[in-house]
Amino acid sequence: MSTRAADTLTVALAQIAPIWLDREATLQKMLTWVESAAREGASLVAFSEGLLPGYPFWVEHTDGARFESPLQKRLYAHYCDQAVQIDAGHLAPLCAAAARHRIWIVCGVIERDGARGLSVFASMVTIDVEGAIRSVHRKLMPTYEERLVWSPGDAHGLRCHPLGAFRLGSLNCWENWMPLARAALYAQGESLHVAGWPGSRRNTETITPFIAREGRSFALSVSSVLHRDALPHHLPEFAVLRDHLPDVMADGGSCIAGPDGRFLIEPVVGREELLLAQLDHTRVREERQTFDPFGHYSRPELLSLVVDGKRVSGLQRSDSGP
């Protein structure tokens, strides 16, 4: 393989709508988009934050902070039922698709740890070409009303992975604004950053080129789209949701910026689309000539970052029991 061929990577952003709050139906839809990305020659396909089975748009619009609300309890119970339990094999079809098509997958899921409780996390899952789950990054801090639904995560999955000439990392939504979270990835040599969003151009259009320029990396922002007329009729409290949710809950905004901070693909709004781009690692090396955040432009003897990568648990045993 020539040096130039080894430096290039085709990536795909799948800006799609979930079959909202329906894990199995959404998963089947994702599989078709993985196949489409592979058919286009992509080595990586990325999906938005919480796409499987969907972002909790109801909270903002249905008095989600009301204490002991029967409505909120019913919706949360359904959300737990539809959440992804990795140990139960819910992602096995995606893993099989990754192996079959020899493609990496980064996808946002609502994760429930079935062995420990009924709390859910907004997680970014990275699957490699062998179909192995390489990391599960639980969002460090849910944003505003998300805290009524999602639990805070930890740094266990805050990792980068080698992908050809690149180092792949990812963050969820507003944790992309957390300087130390970004720095934890930069310090691992990140050169390909996936930022997952629920779906809004206002979120992606400023931070995507900023992260790319700061990290001298390629930044891929991937969002979803969702319109009220696409709500599944079998949802619990369907009539309430239909009456209270806005016409447009997510309008997309997926985009890609290069290491110089310029858009390769400007934000795409209002429609489902598979966005494709060929990235060249040479551009990373060129831009790091003047600035390398954890290389020649760092002062490790003065400034350092400590990351506690343990999976957070409320139970620490001192004996050898289960």
Q: pLDDT per residue over 237-282, tens digit each?
A: 999 999 999 999 999 999 999 999 999 999 999 999 999 999 999 9
Chain Cα centroid distance, residue 5: 27
Q: How confident is the model at residue 320 (pLDDT cuts 50, 70, 90)?
A: low
List, for residues 162-209, the tens digit of each pLDDT value. 999 999 999 999 999 999 999 999 999 999 999 999 999 999 999 999
Q: What is the mean pLDDT of residues 136-155?
A: 97
- Is 107 within 8 Å of 47 (Cβ atoms)? yes
Task: Check if 237 is active-site.
Answer: no
Count CB atoms within 10 A of the CB of residue 153: 24
Query: What's the half-sphere exposure (Cβ side, CA atoms, 13 Å) at 24?
Result: 1
- At residue 3, the pLDDT reads 57
DSSP one-letter code for 36:
H
| pTM of model > 0.85 | yes
Bridge partner residues of 9 (DSSP): 279
Confidence of residue 116 (pLDDT cuts 50, 70, 90): confident
Please give the backbone phi and psi of residue 214, each rounded to the nearest 5 degrees, phi first: -65, -45
User: Does pLDDT of 2 surpass 70?
Assistant: no
From the list 111, 139, 214, 255, the catalytic residue is: 139
pLDDT of residue 313: 80
Query: How far is it, in rounded angstroms, from Cα 297 to Cα 103?
Result: 34
8 A C-beta contact, residue 175 and residue 20: no
Confidence of residue 319 (pLDDT cuts 50, 70, 90): confident
* The pair of three-digit structure tokens given for residue 52, joined into one six-digit string: 């499987």
Q: Are strands 161-163 and 133-138 parallel, antiparallel or unpaired?
A: unpaired
Q: pLDDT of 211-248, one tens digit each?
A: 999 999 999 999 999 999 999 999 999 999 999 999 99
CA distances in angstroms from 91 to 85, 125, 127, 150, listed in the order given: 8, 10, 10, 20
173 has catalytic annotation: yes
Q: Kindly state the greatest CA–CA separation across the chain.
A: 63
What confidence score (pLDDT) does residue 312 get? 82
CA 156 to chain centre: 15
Pick the catalytic residue: 173, 175, 214, 287? 173
Q: Taking a C-beta distance cutoff of 8 angstroms, is the pair 137, 86 a contact? A: no
Pair 259, 291: CB distance under 8 Å:
no
3-state secondary structure of 115: coil
Query: Who's near 317: CB < 8 A, 6+ residues apart?
Result: none
Query: Residue 160 catalytic?
Result: no
